[in-house]
Amino acid sequence: MTDKASLRADDLRTFYGEPILLARNKVLPRLDHHCRDFIARSPFLVLGTADAQGNQDVSPRGDPPGFVKVMADGRLAIPDRPGNRRVDSLTNIALSPKVALLFMVPGFDETVRVNGRAEITRDPALLEALSVKGRPAVAAILVEVDEAFFHCAKSLIRSALWDPATRADRRQMPSLGQIIADQIDGVDPEAADEVVEESNRTWLY
């Protein structure tokens, strides 16, 4: 179903106008020293992937600042840690290598966006180099950078994301175990919460 007021691709430029010079020309074909510096400070990114049919997935990734390594050849190495074993992102990459990354640094309202092509590796030396608390990564996502650029601060300013005054009380919503129990028949909420807590205690690394 299409809304009568929806814009087609060829309508967008007419409606929005041309981008300003800074926005149009800021895209780099590789990481410069500012992008590398930002990535070295980042403890969190969002990874966007799609399968061969275009079905999309977005996955958060986090570790201590600098967990994503910039290789000597300019590629990015993103560690994959123990998790829920869905491997949605990794399966998509194996089928369709194009990825999009959004890096964030707490306290910075700007973000860094990277678009590129990825592959999955189990190279032992690299997994060891991506260790945290003595535990190597399970696998690594290697990203060949096609585009990199800084994204302006407007969205994070609007959201006041880093402002402590905007932090919500987690108790405003049920526990994750209760949410899962409400969504899946036959799941006991207390047992689900125990599984979640045990996972957080033992499966991080």
Q: Tell me the C-alpha distance between 184 and 198, whole Å.
A: 20
Between CA 98 and CA 117 the distance in angstroms is: 4
pTM across the whole model: 0.94
CB 105 within 8 A of CB 42: yes
CB 97 within 8 A of CB 145: no
CB 116 within 8 A of CB 144: yes
CATH architecture of the region 18-159 = Roll (2.30)
Could you tell me which residues are beta bridge partners of residue 117? Answer: 98, 144
- Residue ranges of the chain assigned to CATH 2.30.110.10: 18-159
Q: At what angle do helices 176-183 and 189-202 cross, to 10 degrees?
A: 130
Q: Give per-residue pLDDT as tens, 147-197.
A: 999 999 999 999 999 999 999 999 999 999 999 999 999 999 999 999 999
CA distance 30 to 102: 15
Q: What is the pLDDT along the chain (205 residues), one digit of tens a residue?
A: 567 778 888 888 888 989 888 888 899 999 999 999 999 999 999 999 999 999 999 999 999 999 999 999 999 999 999 988 999 999 999 999 999 999 999 999 999 999 999 999 999 999 999 999 999 999 999 999 999 999 999 999 999 999 999 999 999 999 999 999 999 999 999 999 999 999 999 888 8
For residues 140 and 80, what is the distance between their CA atoms, to the nearest angstrom? 5
- Tell me how crowded residue 124 is: count the other CB atoms within 10 A of its CB: 9
For 90-153, give the DSSP string.
HHHHHH--EEEEEEE-TT-S-EEEEEEEEEEE--HHHHHHT-BTTB--SEEEEEEEEEEEEEPS
